[in-house]
A and B are shown apart, each in its own frame.
Chain A
Amino acid sequence: MEVANPDVPRWEHFAHDADMGVRGVGSTLAEAFEQGALAMTALITDLAAVAARDRVTIECSAPDQELLFAEWLNNIVYEMAVRHMIFGRFVVTLDGTQLGADIWGEHIDVQRHHPAVEVKGATYTALRVAQEASHWVAQTVVDI
Chain B
Amino acid sequence: MDIALFNRRSDHAWEIVPRGAMRVPAVIYASEPLIRAMDQKVYEQAVNVASLPGIVNASYAMPDAHWGYGFPIGGVAAFDPDAGGVVSAGGVGFDISCGVRCLHTGLTRPDILAVQEQLADKLFHRIPAGIGSTGLIRLDAQEMEAMLDGGAQWAVHAGWGVAEDLEHIEERGRMPHAQPGNVSQHAKNRQRDEMGTLGSGNHYLEVQEVTAVYDATIAAAFGLDVGDIVVMIHCGSRGLGHQIGTEFLKEMVVSAADHGIHLPDRELACAPIDSDVGQRYLGAMRAAINCALANRQILTHLVREVFADLLPKAHLPLLYDVSHNTCKLEEHRIDGEVRRLYVHRKGATRAFGPGHPDIPESLRPFGQPVLIGGSMSAGSYVLAGTAESAALAFSSACHGAGRAMSRHQATRTWKGRQLVDELAARGILIRSPSMRGVAEEAPDAYKDVSAVVDAADAAGLARKVARTKPLICVKG
- A residues whose Cβ falls under 8 Å from a Cβ of B: 13-20, 44, 62-63, 67, 70-71, 74, 77-78, 80-82, 84, 108-110, 113-118, 120-125, 127, 141, 143-144
What is the CB-to-nearest-CB distance from A120 to chain B, in angstroms, rounded to a whole number?
A: 4
B131 touching A17, Cβ below 8 Å = no
Q: Is B227 part of the binding interface, using a Cβ–Cβ cutoff of 8 Å? A: no
Residues of B within 8 A of A14 (CB): 408
Further pairs besides A78-B190, A124-B70, A125-B267: 20, Cβ < 8 Å: A15-B406, A16-B67, A17-B403, A20-B406, A67-B254, A71-B250, A81-B239, A82-B189, A82-B190, A110-B433, A113-B132, A116-B436, A117-B437, A118-B201, A118-B476, A120-B95, A121-B94, A122-B246, A124-B249, A124-B266
Q: How far does the alpha carbon of A71 sit from the alpha carbon of B406 in the complex, in Å? A: 24
Q: Is B41 part of the binding interface, using a Cβ–Cβ cutoff of 8 Å? A: yes
Residues of B within 8 A of A116 (CB): 200, 434, 436-437, 440
- B residues whose Cβ falls under 8 Å from a Cβ of A: 39, 41, 66-70, 73, 93-95, 130-134, 186, 189-190, 192, 194, 199-201, 239, 242-243, 245-246, 249-250, 253-254, 266-267, 269, 402-403, 406-409, 433-437, 440, 476
Residues of A within 8 A of B73 (CB): 17-18
Residues of A within 8 A of B407 (CB): 15, 19-20, 117, 144
Given A116-B434, A118-B199, A124-B69 contact (CB < 8 Å): yes
Q: How far does the alpha carbon of A121 sit from the alpha carbon of B267 in the complex, in Å? A: 13
A118 touching B253, Cβ below 8 Å = no
Which 9 residue pairs across A and B have the least CB separation, nearest first? A15-B406, A108-B132, A116-B436, A115-B131, A120-B242, A17-B67, A121-B246, A118-B200, A118-B131
What is the CB-to-nearest-CB distance from A43 to chain B, in angstroms, rounded to a whole number?
A: 8
Residues of A within 8 A of B134 (CB): 84
Given A63-B254, A84-B132, A110-B433, A124-B190 contact (CB < 8 Å): no
Given A67-B250, A81-B239, A15-B39 contact (CB < 8 Å): no
What is the CB-to-nearest-CB distance from B39 to chain A, in angstroms, rounded to a whole number?
A: 6
What is the CB-to-nearest-CB distance from A117 to chain B, in angstroms, rounded to a whole number?
A: 5
A115 touching B132, Cβ below 8 Å = yes
Question: Which of B189, B199, B242, B440 meets A121, CB within 8 Å?
Answer: B242
Residues of B within 8 A of A19 (CB): 407
| A–B Cβ pairs within 8 angstroms, 20 of them | A15-B406, A15-B408, A17-B406, A18-B73, A70-B250, A78-B186, A82-B189, A110-B131, A114-B435, A114-B436, A117-B200, A118-B131, A120-B95, A121-B94, A121-B242, A121-B243, A124-B266, A141-B69, A143-B69, A144-B200
What is the CB-to-nearest-CB distance from B441 to chain A, in angstroms, rounded to a whole number?
A: 10
Q: Which residue of A lies closest to B193 (CB)?
A: A84
A17 touching B41, Cβ below 8 Å = yes
What is the CB-to-nearest-CB distance from B393 to chain A, in angstroms, rounded to a whole number?
A: 21
Residues of B within 8 A of A117 (CB): 131, 200-201, 407, 434, 437, 440
